[in-house]
């Protein structure tokens, strides 16, 4: 019987493992360390940027659970488990919340059990699939078992879209959103070079050198992904500026290369 780890190519860096390494995790390989170190040399603010992207996810998930009454979530590009995970955030607000996680990295799959430890009232599941194959996500037994498309869903696409290149990007987002009913919400973060173009441009070049090409988008292009949706306040903004809490640390705009927003499907 084969293990998910048999699918790991330790000769190539993977975005989830690079992210894990830069944020101080332990589930990565030397090739991911090499790539992460190179990226941080190009832009020393990269760890701050990545941490603020994850904090946006926490705030957006809590907002949807607490203020919008969302009780089921589809999290695309889960990444390696770093507490608190989405289910921990939303189940703290509403213990009955259900979360379906999606990722395509074998190491993430081996950690699925860590992700599945939710509240007794709620439920979590993991789908081994890629955003490029939305049918595999939407037709998965886990999606069909946990998520009721007759009720609003929180679609979370956090830190993923800059790895989805045109012309597939908008089509894939819409394909995931289309089956979800009115009242569903899309929470999404999108990479940009608007605030530190030289440094972020060099990071993007390093990602491309590691066979992980990126598409960085300006504010108008980012905003266009939410066309037809009702964007909630404060609109499309840098992730650290989206509904910051009272204890939010002070972060310079130039240290953040990610836009974020939450929008309602009418």
Contact status, residue 202 vs residue 42, Cβ threshold 8 Å: yes
How sure is the predictor about 1, in pLDDT bands with cuts at 50, 70 and 90? very low
CA-based nearest residue to 158, from 231, 86, 244: 86
**Integer angstrom CA distances of residue 216 from 9, 46, 79, 120, 201:** 26, 15, 20, 40, 9
- Average pLDDT over every residue of 218-243: 97
**pLDDT of 3 above 90:** no
**pLDDT of 24 above 90:** no
Contact status, residue 78 vs residue 108, Cβ threshold 8 Å: yes
Phi, psi of 252 (to 5 degrees): -75, 140
- Average pLDDT over every residue of 36-62: 93
- Strand pairing partners for 127? 102
* pLDDT value, residue 23: 78
- Strand pairing partners for 260? 189, 237
Cis link prior to 175 (omega < 30° from 0)? Answer: no
Q: What is the tally of helices (H) and strands (E) in the chain?
A: 11, 8
Per-residue pLDDT tens over the stretch 185-207 = 999 999 999 999 999 999 999 88
In angstroms, rounded to a whole number, what is the distance separating the alpha carbons of residues 31 and 2? 23
Put residue 228 in one of left, alpha, beta given phi > 0 → left and psi -120 to 50 → alpha.
Answer: left
Task: Domains for the chain: give ranges and CATH numbers.
Answer: 9-244+252-264 (3.40.50.150)
- Average pLDDT over every residue of 64-84: 89
* pLDDT value, residue 7: 60
Query: For a pLDDT cut of 90, what percent of the chain falls above it?
Result: 70
**pLDDT of 22 above 50:** yes
* pLDDT value, residue 2: 46
Contact status, residue 127 vs residue 140, Cβ threshold 8 Å: yes
* pLDDT value, residue 177: 98
Q: Which helix (H) or strand (E) holds 253?
A: none
Query: How does strand 185-191 pair with strand 230-231?
Result: unpaired
Per-residue pLDDT tens over the stretch 128-177 = 999 999 999 999 999 999 999 999 999 999 999 999 999 999 999 999 99
In angstroms, rounded to a whole number, what is the distance separating the alpha carbons of residues 122 and 210? 39
**pLDDT of 12 above 90:** no
- Mean pLDDT estimate for the chain: 90
Contact status, residue 165 vs residue 48, Cβ threshold 8 Å: no
């Amino acid at each position: 019987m084969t293990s998910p780890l048999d699918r790991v190519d330790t000769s190539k860096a993977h975005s989830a493992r690079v992210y894990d390494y830069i944020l101080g995790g332990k589930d990565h390989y030397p090739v991911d360390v090499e790539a992460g170190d190179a990226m941080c040399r190009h832009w020393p603010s990269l760890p701050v940027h990545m941490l603020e992207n994850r904090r946006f996810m926490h705030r957006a998930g809590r907002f949807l659970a607490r203020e919008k009454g969302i009780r089921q979530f589809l999290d695309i590009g889960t990444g390696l488990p770093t507490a608190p995970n989405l289910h921990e955030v939303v189940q703290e607000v509403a213990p009955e919340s259900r979360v379906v996680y999606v990722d395509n990295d074998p190491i993430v799959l081996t950690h699925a059990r860590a992700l599945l430890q939710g509240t007794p009232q709620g439920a979590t599941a993991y789908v081994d699939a890629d955003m490029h194959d939305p049918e595999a996500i939407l037709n998965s037994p886990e999606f069909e078992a946990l998520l009721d498309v007759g009720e609003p869903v929180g679609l979370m696409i956090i830190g993923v879209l800059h790895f989805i290149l045109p012309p597939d990007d908008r089509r894939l987002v819409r394909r995931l959103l289309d089956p979800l009913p009115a009242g569903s919400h899309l929470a999404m973060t999108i990479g940009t070079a608007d605030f530190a173009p030289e440094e972020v441009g060099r990071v993007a070049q390093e990602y491309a050198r590691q066979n992980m090409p990126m598409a960085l988008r300006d504010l108008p292009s980012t905003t266009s992904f939410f066309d037809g949706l009702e964007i909630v306040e404060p609109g499309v903004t840098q992730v650290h500026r989206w509904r910051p809490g009272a204890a939010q640390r002070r972060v310079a705009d130039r240290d953040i290369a990610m836009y974020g927003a939450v929008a309602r499907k009418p």
